[in-house]
Amino acid sequence: MKRKIIAGNWKMYKTMTDGLAFLDAFVPRCHREMMEKCSLILAPNFTLLASMAARCREAGIALAAQNCHPGGEGAYTGETSLAMLVDVGVSHVLVGHSERRALFGEQDNFLNQKVKAVLAAGLVPILCVGETLAQREADAAGTVVEKQLRQGLDEVVPDGRLMIAYEPVWAIGTGKTATVDDARSMHQFIRQCLRSLAVDGKGEDVPILYGGSVKPANAPGLLAEDEINGVLVGGASLNPEDFARIAESV
């Protein structure tokens, strides 16, 4: 994992016109030195995936979906299958983002189905884990994250085919950020959990990203840590200049 992973989650922002304008501004900043040191991933809304796919592919930017349904085709109104995502050029899928857990009631056993389905489709699941402020203050952060990992990866041997994103829920969109020490400590803990779940040392191959109010100001300190293999950026990824500055900080 010599290259740091810089992923942007656009959530429910940007129209098709906005997304293409972002690429017009961002792609010219993807110079050779940046691309040699970073792996770039963008996760726009479903409506933007098809229109952005070719341009992202040409620029060397991977395209991620923000969600998926673990089943095949069928009577699942409003859902999107893995076959549909493969068809438009998606390579990664976010699974279990804290907003999916909190706002839409997604539980670990359902997220486990998604992880398995994403892997079976030949795509890369980015499993999101993290604790709330109440859980952290109750000294339960480790317990919560380990449960999310073990249940989310049930019957899945962790290796380089998947990613983990640690997102302290209390630091998402709040302006609060875990200190570098906080992030390093949790990433070390997650790595230990992956080692216990993996075989033949494959747990070392799983990239662990930090997400939670990542901005150009704090990205250099986070990305300088060996235990932090990349970042999952929210609000700052909506601005092409800010997202480029985060990648350039590597």
Longest dimension (CA), the chain: 47
Residue 21 has pLDDT above 90, yes or no: yes
Examine the residue annotation and report whether 167 is marked as an active-site residue of this protein: yes
Name the domain count of the chain.
1
User: Strand pairing of 92-95 and 62-65?
Assistant: parallel
Which residue among 99, 167, 187, 248 is the active-site one? 167
Distance in Å from the first CA to the final CA of the chain: 13
Residue 72 contacts residue 83 (beta carbons within 8 Å): yes
Q: What are the tens digits of pLDDT across the range 37-91?
A: 999 999 999 999 999 999 999 999 999 999 999 999 999 999 999 999 999 999 9
**Res 171: pLDDT:** 82
Alpha helices in the chain (DSSP H): 16-26, 32-37, 46-59, 82-88, 98-104, 108-120, 133-137, 141-152, 180-197, 219-223, 240-248
Q: What are the tens digits of pLDDT across the range 139-171?
A: 999 999 999 999 999 999 999 999 999 999 988
Residue with tokens 């997604």: 106
Sign of the CA dihedral with 118 first, then 120, 123, and 129 last: positive
Q: What is the mean pLDDT of the chain?
A: 95
172 vs 68, which has greater pLDDT? 68
**Res 1: pLDDT:** 63
Which residue among 69, 92, 97, 187 is the active-site one? 97
Q: Could you tell me the residue range of the domain that residue 152 belongs to?
A: 4-248
Residue 5 contacts residue 38 (beta carbons within 8 Å): yes
Total length of the chain: 250
- Measured between alpha carbons, how far is 158 from 243 in angstroms, rounded to an integer? 29
Sign of the CA dihedral with 149 first, then 153, 154, and 158 last: negative
Give pTM, 2 decimals. Answer: 0.96
Q: Calculate ∠ Cα 135-138-141, nearest 5°.
A: 45
| Closest to 71 measured CA to CA, from 56, 60, 62, 81 | 81
Q: What is the CATH number of the domain that holds 215?
A: 3.20.20.70
Residue 174 has pLDDT above 90, yes or no: no
Q: Calculate ∠ Cα 235-227-112, nearest 5°.
A: 70
